[in-house]
Amino acid sequence: MPNGLTVYYLPKADYNRTYGLFTTNFGSLDTSFVPLGESEFQTFPEGIAHFLEHKLFEKEEGDVMYKFGDLGAQTNAFTSFSRTSYLFSTRENSYECTELLLDFVQKPYFTKENVEKEQGIIQQEIQMYQDDSDWRLFAGLLEKMYPDSPLAADIAGTPATINAITADDLYKNYEVFYHPKNMNLFLTGPFDIEMMSDFVRSNQAKKDFADLAEIQRKEIKASEPISGESLELEVAMPKFALGLRGEDQLSSDSKTLFKYKLANQLFLDLLFGRTSQRYEELYNSGLIDDSFGFSFDLDKRFHFAVLTADTENPQILGQTLQEAIKSYKIDRDFSEEHLDLLKREMLGDYFSSLNSLEYIANQFSSEIYGDLTFFDFPEILKGLSLSEIEKFADQFISEMKKVEFTILPK
């Protein structure tokens, strides 16, 4: 778009539903930046991105959710470390819903009164998941992996930081991060692409936005990780987490970054996935149960792996997992045959996911992979060899920092 907005259209003539996702590259990590028209960095309270997400739904004339409901649509929003997304899903009035999505996100309404009202609502939300032991395990691990950094903070903030947010703070954040240059729109459904494109272009042409220079975000710096800590909660069995904090320099090339993430996901799957012999042995020995899981998360500003499990022997499990990673090259599960099996499974999952408009939209809205898209996945996966997985795994492992965190029964 002339105003800098990136728009993706994916017509689906055989579907009866339209799905829209409007995303800004702004999340919980973006608490320190240079506001519009200023020259110095300013730090804002933790949780402000999530707070802003909540407040955009409230307008002078009422809650936007009711307007979507009147159009026969569902709407929602979510905030992550680096993104905030607003969405709708509908079987009717797709053009009206698209207009409403664009207009409510691009027309903020923040007042002292509605900010104070929201502070109480979000504090209740924060309190609600303090008893969620799985969430506390992940949050506690991140806090120990990335001390003194925005990654150690809850995406929703704390009661104290929420109370510190003002309407002026929200406008300063909005002016920078909700500029069309920093946003993308994804629309998929049974619409005519030329008509929808003209419709979106006409909507944006009616709006004026201030000139926005390149956004200056403060670099994320964390202290040395803290390992071996624990927390007591009302749980029946200890909950264990092993975090692997990536310290290696990531490539700026989109395709290499895509392959790096995929390779390390496959690396963990080869060693610990449900098709591995190690998983079967750990399960049969009682060291893990169905709660065992792992993930590899990557953003332009951080990357880490997490392995979690409910286990009666967290210390032995931690040693076993770390030893497996250390000696992976002689592991029987690290083989061409196993890789072929995993690739077939991943391709099957990928083609199944093409039936989910929500999943496709979420993949498209990510800023990480530049000019690559979700549809490049099969080709990159097929071309990824065991030796390349070894190369990328070595890159990650050679400089990673290990952190163990446990929740113990009271």
8 A C-beta contact, residue 102 and residue 183 = no
d(CA 222, CA 214): 24
Phi and psi for 230 in degrees, rounded to 5? -145, 165
d(CA 405, CA 154): 17
- Judged by DSSP in three states, 115 sits in helix
Listing DSSP states for 254-270 in one string gives HHHHHHHHHHHHHHHHH
Phi and psi for 325 in degrees, rounded to 5? -65, -40
Q: Residue 203 burial (CB < 10 Å; 0-12/13-18/19+)?
A: middle
Does residue 345 carry a catalytic annotation? no
Q: Which helix (H) or strand (E) holds 403?
A: strand 401-409
Annotated active-site residue in 38, 40, 46, 53: 53
Can you say whether the dihedral through the CA atoms of 97, 102, 105, 107 is positive or negative?
A: negative
Distances (CA, A) of 316 to 275, 307, 341, 343, 349: 22, 14, 29, 31, 33
Helix then strand count (H, E) for the chain reads 15, 14
Q: Which residues of 167-194 are buried (b: 16+ CB within 10 A; e: fewer)?
A: bebbebbbbbbbbbbbbbbbbbbebeee
Which neighbouring-strand residues pair with 233? 409
- Judged by DSSP in three states, 190 sits in coil
Strand order in the sheet with 6-11: 6-11, 183-189, 18-24, 84-90, 73-79
d(CA 28, CA 150): 7
d(CA 260, CA 397): 12
**Residues designated as active site:** 53
